[in-house]
Structure 1
């Protein structure tokens, strides 16, 4: 793995020297050396070692007790009934299962030791990564590696990131397969010959057009809401005025009818 990485770096350095005509600066850190010289890490590591020692003692004690039970059963078998032998064997099997579960919980891939080890290293790693990025930018390093890590690279200049170009190439290949007419092919080839910078400029312009369109649509929508609001207010005012007129008419009718009824009563 490291040999492949080294070969890739040599090729990459050669390409940069030929194409960019600039020196390619690479740095590295030794994470193990850093950890050994950070007092906070050493103190926490000592505490973890104490816990690990206690866990190992418990695991060893479980194994000794299980072995003693097996030897005791083997010696007493001639004196025991079949039922008692089976009962003792079940007890031993249960103790073995419990002991294995304990060791898995403490030392397994997702056990306490691995989890606490990661928790112990993570704050130091974060500090290292922050310091590496600052130093790399100040000293113009293109890449920084951890010589003790399988993952290798822990910093790379943004100028080396070709992810957008790769994605652009994949999208263009996919789009090319969907072209039908000669005009579409010619248009595609013109777009394909554009640089990443030209694509970014066009994308920025399209975004500005889209933002302006969104602003216009928002303005139109706001004006429409204002018109609807005015219309609704006028409609409510009309309904209220109509209601008052009808109520006034009804009161007059009721008053006239009351006068008539009174005259009829007198006569």
Structure 2
């Protein structure tokens, strides 16, 4: 499924690029990241998690009680009549069924947890969808994908990430909705203007930062090349010096051998002369 979605995206992009006079503008969002940074959602999620833990504790406690009753019944069976045993087993069975029904009511496919999750998610999803629509139209994006959904992101450059912009848009909308008087509404509107200016400044700053990073990378590369050249020269000089020393040592050794040979010859001549005398 994911592969099919990716193929469709690539085909649409190719077709759009072939027919469009300008390049295709593609953006993406990370829904999970956005949700984690919306205070209302994280607060509501925390409250729901507290409920879930309470439900789990209730179920676990009840199931432990059932287990204890079964163990007690097994220990007392020798002292009970068949009718009493069947009666108590039936009571335990119905009690266990009630607990399992309660568990299904809370955690089943159509249980309270799923219902409350949908109720919690739907308003935020609507806000995210609307923010994406507004931003995509305003900034002339051709495609916007969700990184945390089924679309496979083989690569994603950070400059195309709209997640923070979505968070700011939802935050501004929330402030405008909650504004109680003209002053608060005016402040929210002023904040919108400031953020739009900041967005433009961020875009310009991003270009400057990219150029600076390129210059720094080129400078670092050049420095490394100079250092490598120096090291190569040092290594060559050291090798040359070692060769000279080695040649000198060999020459000295050869001279010593020559002298030793001459002395041996002279001693032989003197010995021969002595024998003659």
TM-score bucket of the superposed structures, by smaller chain? 0.5 to 0.7
User: Which ranges in structure 1 are unaligned for 5 or more consecutive residues?
Assistant: 153-267
Aligned equivalent of 2:124: 124
| Rounded Cα–Cα distance in structure 2 between residues aligned with 1:145 and 1:78 | 68
Aligned equivalent of 1:26: 26
Deviations 1:189-231 (A, max 9, x none): xxxxxxxxxxxxxxxxxxxxxxxxxxxxxxxxxxxxxxxxxxx
| Rounded Cα–Cα distance in structure 1 between residues aligned with 2:45 and 2:123 | 13
Matched residue of 2:144: which SS? strand
TM-score, structure 1 as length reference: 0.54
| Rounded Cα–Cα distance in structure 1 between residues aligned with 2:56 and 2:151 | 30
User: Which ranges in structure 2 are unaligned for 5 or more consecutive residues?
Assistant: 153-277
Aligned equivalent of 1:192: none
Aligned equivalent of 1:38: 38
RMSD of aligned alpha carbons:
1.7
Q: Is the 8 A contact 2:30 2:147 kept in 1?
A: yes
| Rounded Cα–Cα distance in structure 2 between residues aligned with 1:42 and 1:14 | 39
| Rounded Cα–Cα distance in structure 2 between residues aligned with 1:18 and 1:151 | 23
| Rounded Cα–Cα distance in structure 1 between residues aligned with 2:71 and 2:58 | 20
1:2 Cα deviation after fit: 2.3
Aligned length: 152
Matched residue of 1:145: which SS? strand
| Rounded Cα–Cα distance in structure 1 between residues aligned with 2:25 and 2:81 | 78
| Rounded Cα–Cα distance in structure 2 between residues aligned with 1:45 and 1:19 | 45
Matched residue of 2:145: which SS? strand
Q: Is the 8 A contact 2:6 2:151 kept in 1?
A: no
Query: Does residue 102 of the first structure (1) align with residue 102 of the second (2)?
Result: yes
Aligned equivalent of 2:170: none
Query: Does residue 146 of the first structure (1) align with residue 174 of the second (2)?
Result: no
Q: Is the 8 A contact 1:16 1:22 kept in 2?
A: no
Aligned equivalent of 1:72: 72
Aligned equivalent of 1:60: 60
| Rounded Cα–Cα distance in structure 2 between residues aligned with 1:132 and 1:91 | 56
1:25 Cα deviation after fit: 2.3
Matched residue of 1:110: which SS? coil
Q: Is the 8 A contact 2:2 2:151 kept in 1?
A: no
TM-score, structure 2 as length reference: 0.52
Quickly say closer, same or farther: Cα 1:57–1:33, change in 2 above 3 A.
same
Report 1:194-209 matches (<5 A).
Answer: none
1:26 Cα deviation after fit: 2.2
Report 1:164-179 matches (<5 A).
Answer: none
* Structure with more relative contact order (C-alpha pairs < 8 Å, separation 6 or more): 2
Aligned equivalent of 1:262: none
